[in-house]
């Protein structure tokens, strides 16, 4: 090609390109911009959109325990910053759509000349829709309807606009508009399916389940995408189940099953599971269902879904009252890999309920804990299970105490030889297991604890800081030295004492050494874990410790007897606990309440002879007790003046009358008298409040901490903990402020508590002066400060000088002559003094 030809070709190409202006409505311009937009920018944008949708489908977790949404799109509540996106693919699709509009739009004379612009706006709207920016998406779809009413995509855009309306909660508007769209005879099959599916979703959102059925059948019939067909039929099965139409639901699930591998396997398996749930166990052919579930279990393709299949097998055996076999399958379901968190929570809840029904409350509590771990706190069921679990706190706590004290006291009662024999058997078993593990190539696993755990609290362990207490220096502790030596052998093997021992030739790869050789390097005899004397030495022997454990044991058995009787109606368990208590030399304060509870339990069990025997015992040996009165006249319980409730109300009135010392003394008495009664925590909390009134914030915190720790499961214990967490830190930070900045003051007359008569006389004198001198804004109160002093306080004074002036008036006026010493204090500082009991600090600094 010669130079002239090249130059001529260049001129023609340049002319053609420069003639493709977006402002010129020519054949070349229209086709250039349409082709460039369609096969370059929009093509790449559509690919990005499909990749984003595929990512949503892969990451979306369906909840098969509820009606599935028609479209897989998890809407979150995250608030994004401006120009932020949730998914890079949708961001890229939006960029391509915007680029196509900016570079290839040919809006000339108010009319769009590029036929691809409606596709660009459609891509823009869809990318925003899937990125959960629904209002901007609605703008894009509305723009198509406004600018391109004659577009081939007009119905498609209308459908997507209504899908967006559904997402923003305008279901009724969407249904109205979609029905208008369906009246058109120009809809493609996929648009027809999409419109009907959207109507169905709108009805489901409005909880009009019956109205959603017909449009969803139409959607399933017209869609050519098998994944959508399988999903639609599965949702139809769920809808029919919700309407109680089991046979029709099974027919819909059969449609899903018939698709087999044409739709996702998860629909296939769940369709079988739903049919199993719908199975009529009264049909007399239960073996058919078992064979069906067993076949599903054995199919290799169903391995990712074994959690659901095992669960349904558990349900099958539960229905035929084979509980033990059902338990095996529920546990298999839990052990199977699963992303279905709700299924895990259901499995744990079922296991918890089974253990609860079997009165195995400790195991039940653990399963309820696991249930709550896998359940959303927003569910109503969560609160129900949480309450049920909280009600188990008492029984779990006292069963654990009973178990531990039983074990320790049993071991303490053995002879020295019997203890050594017992723990020798235990350590021999540990040694055999350790040897087998090492022979198999697994070295013993050492925990971070130092030596074996001490399971015997307060067992001959000297207090820290006293002679013979354990020294914290490593090499002074033989257990730590032994553990360190074993740990060194495990990691490095046997080494000679030499420089660079870590990098020398002796630093062999321990994994290459014969396990038998490694076993020879580790001497188990040096490890205290395998020495029976390690455990024997921890058994308590002091009488004070054993007596304390016996006291804990008896109290635990009493509490368990009451709880099993009153809370759960487990009369056999209640009787066992209380009978054990009475045969275990209980404290005197527990004997009578335990016998009275047994009296009521025997009545519930129908053990009339035992009931009569214990009745006679109470009437003969405790004839003056309230329990004897209850037995003679059960109606007296309602009007018992010495009942815990009546006594508490009387004591609370004493608290309001500032008789704090009496409240503390009587609270201690009532706590001891009513041990085990639910009202005890109320007495303890009232005592804590009375303590605060006379001893201050620090004593209050200690008393509250005792209530919170001792009664954590009660309302009073929880309230005490809440005060410790919130109110106490704020009160401790209070500091005195300058009185010169205050506007409310008090005049305070301290009086010794021994001068009670003088306190009342002083108050009367001041009140008389206020009345006669016509100081209507002032009033007087008697406030207890501590166990030694009481304040007579004049309230309503405005300044410190007026307070002192009023004191001077009372001193000099010949009608009153009140010469007792007093001081003025702002109301805010007076509050701090009463809370912290720091009057001396205030007076020293003012």
Superfamily of domain 644-732 in CATH is Tetratricopeptide repeat domain (1.25.40.10)
CA-CA-CA-CA torsion sign (182, 188, 189, 190): negative
Tokens of 134: 């629904």
Q: What angle do CA 341, 342, 348 make, to 5 degrees?
A: 95
Domains 543-637 and 741-844 share a fold: no
DSSP class of residue 257 equals H
Strands of 110-198 (E only): list them. Answer: 111-112
For residues 537 and 544, give the distance between their C-alpha atoms in angstroms, rounded to a whole number: 17
Fold classification of 741-844 (topology level): Alpha-Beta Plaits (3.30.70)
Strands (E) located in 78-208: 107-108, 111-112
Q: What is the mean pLDDT of each run of 10 residues along the chain (846 residues)?
A: 61 51 59 67 84 84 88 77 72 82 67 73 88 88 84 87 92 92 83 92 93 94 92 94 93 93 91 91 84 91 92 92 92 89 92 89 90 87 86 85 90 90 89 78 46 46 37 52 63 64 53 48 68 87 88 89 86 92 88 90 92 92 82 65 78 88 89 77 90 90 87 81 89 85 88 80 87 86 89 90 88 84 89 89 81
pLDDT at 614: 92
Q: List, as one string, the DSSP characters of 551-571.
A: HHHHHHHHHHHHHHHHTS--H
**What is the pLDDT at residue 371?**
92
pLDDT recorded at residue 236: 95
* Domain regions of the chain by residue span: 1-151, 543-637, 644-732, 741-844
CB 683 within 8 A of CB 671: yes
Among the listed residues 784, 548, 489, the one whose alpha carbon sits nearest the alpha carbon of residue 655: 784
For domain 543-637, the question of CATH label 1.25.40 is answered with yes
Q: Which distant-in-sequence residues (6+ apart) come within 8 Å of 787 by Cβ?
A: 661, 694, 695, 753
485 and 492 in contact (C-beta within 8 Å)?
Answer: no
Greatest alpha-carbon span in the chain? 135
Any alpha helices (H) in 756-838, and if so which ranges? 756-772, 800-812, 827-836
Contact 494, 487 (CB under 8 A): no
Amino acid 498: pLDDT: 66
Please report where in the chains the tokens 């190539």 appear, as a residue.
441
**Closest residue by Cα to residue 266 from 210, 357, 188, 343:** 343
Closest CA relative to residue 130, chosen from 167, 184, 104: 167
pLDDT of residue 329: 94
- Beta 789-797 vs 779-784: how paired, if at all? antiparallel
- Within its chain, how far is the Cα of 417 from the centroid? 49
């Amino acid at each position: 090609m010669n130079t002239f030809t090249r130059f001529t070709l260049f001129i023609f190409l340049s002319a053609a390109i420069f003639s493709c202006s977006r402002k010129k409505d020519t054949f070349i311009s229209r086709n250039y911009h349409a082709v460039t937009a369609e096969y370059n920018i929009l093509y790449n944008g559509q690919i990005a959109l499909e990749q984003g949708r595929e990512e949503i489908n892969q990451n979306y977790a369906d909840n098969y325990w509820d009606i599935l949404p028609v479209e897989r799109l998890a809407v979150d509540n995250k608030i994004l910053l401006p120009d932020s996106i949730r998914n890079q693919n949708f961001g890229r699709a939006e960029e391509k759509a915007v680029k196509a509009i900016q570079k290839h739009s040919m809006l000339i004379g108010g009319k769009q000349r590029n036929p691809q612009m409606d596709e660009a706006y459609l891509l823009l709207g869809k990318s925003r829709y899937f990125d959960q920016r629904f209002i901007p998406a609605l703008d894009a779809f509305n723009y198509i309807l406004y600018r391109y009413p004659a577009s081939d995509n007009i119905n498609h855009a209308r459908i997507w606009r209504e899908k967006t309306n559904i997402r923003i909660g305008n279901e009724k508007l969407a249904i109205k508009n979609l029905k208008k769209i369906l009246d058109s005879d120009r809809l493609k099959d996929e648009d027809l399916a999409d419109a009907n599916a959207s109507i169905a979703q709108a009805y489901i959102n409005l909880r009009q389940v019956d109205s959603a059925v017909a449009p969803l059948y139409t959607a399933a019939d017209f869609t050519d995408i098998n994944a959508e067909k399988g999903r639609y039929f599965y949702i139809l099965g769920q809808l029919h189940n919700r309407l109680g139409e089991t046979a029709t639901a099974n027919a819909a699930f059969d449609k899903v099953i018939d698709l087999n591998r044409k739709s996702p396997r998860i629909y296939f398996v769940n369709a079988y599971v739903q049919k199993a749930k719908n199975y009529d166990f009264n049909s007399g052919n239960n073996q058919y269902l078992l064979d069906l579930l067993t076949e599903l279990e054995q199919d290799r393709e169903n391995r990712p879904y074994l959690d659901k299949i095992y669960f349904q097998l558990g349900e099958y055996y539960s229905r035929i009252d084979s509980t033990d076999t059902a338990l095996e399958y529920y546990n298999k379901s839990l052990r199977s890999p699963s992303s279905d968190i709700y299924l895990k929570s259901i499995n744990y809840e079922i296991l918890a309920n089974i253990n609860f029904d079997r009165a195995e409350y400790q195991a039940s509590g653990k399963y309820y804990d696991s249930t709550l771990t896998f359940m959303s706190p927003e569910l109503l069921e969560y609160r129900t299970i949480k309450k049920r679990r909280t009600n188990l706190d008492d029984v779990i706590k006292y069963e654990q105490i009973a178990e531990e004290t039983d074990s320790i006291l049993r071991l303490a009662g053995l002879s020295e030889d019997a203890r050594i024999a017992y723990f020798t058997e235990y350590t021999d078993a540990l040694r055999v297991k350790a040897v087998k593990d090492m022979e198999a190539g697994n070295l013993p696993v050492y925990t971070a604890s130092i030596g074996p755990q001490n399971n015997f609290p307060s067992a001959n362990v000297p207090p820290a800081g006293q002679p013979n207490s354990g020294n914290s220096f490593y090499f002074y502790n033989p257990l730590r030295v032994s553990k360190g030596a074993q740990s060194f052998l495990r990691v490095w093997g046997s080494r000679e004492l030499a420089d660079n021992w870590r990098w020398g030739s002796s630093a062999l790869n321990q994994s290459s050494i014969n396990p038998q050789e490694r076993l020879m390097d580790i001497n188990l005899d040096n490890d205290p874990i395998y020495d029976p004397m390690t455990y024997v030495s921890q058994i308590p022997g002091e009488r004070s410790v054993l007596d304390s454990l016996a006291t804990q044991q008896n109290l635990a058995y009493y509490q368990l007897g009451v709880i099993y009787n009153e809370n759960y109606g487990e009369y056999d368990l209640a009787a066992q606990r209380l009978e054990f208590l009475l045969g275990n030399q209980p404290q005197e304060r527990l004997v009578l309440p335990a016998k009275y509870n047994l009296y009521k339990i025997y009545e519930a069990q129908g053990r009339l002879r035992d009931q009569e025997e214990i009745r006679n015992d109470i009437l003969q040996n405790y004839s003056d007790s309230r329990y004897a009165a209850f037995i003679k006249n059960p109606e007296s319980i309602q009007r018992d003046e010495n009942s815990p409730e009546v006594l508490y109300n009387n004591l609370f009135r004493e608290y309001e009358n500032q008789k704090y010392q009496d409240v503390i003394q009587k609270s201690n008495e009532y706590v001891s008298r009513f041990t085990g009664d639910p009202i005890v925590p109320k007495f303890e909390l009232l005592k804590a409040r009375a303590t605060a009134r006379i001893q201050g914030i620090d004593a209050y915190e200690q008393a509250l901490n005792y209530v919170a720790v001792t009664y954590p499961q009660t309302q009073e214990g929880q309230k005490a903990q809440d005060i410790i967490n919130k109110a106490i830190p704020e009160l401790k930070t209070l500091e005195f402020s300058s009185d010169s900045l205050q506007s409310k003051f008090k005049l305070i007359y301290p009086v010794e508590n021994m001068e009670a008569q003088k306190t009342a006389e002083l108050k009367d004198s001041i009140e008389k002066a206020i009345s006669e001198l016509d100081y209507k804004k002032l009033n007087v109160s008697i406030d207890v400060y501590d166990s030694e002093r009481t304040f007579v306080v004049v309230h309503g004074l405005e300044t410190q000088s007026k307070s002192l002036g009023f004191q001077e008036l009372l001193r000099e006026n010949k009608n009153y002559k009140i010469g007792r010493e007093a001081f003025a204090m702002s109301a805010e500082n007076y509050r701090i003094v009463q809370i912290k009991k720091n009057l001396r600090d205030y007076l020293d600094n003012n």
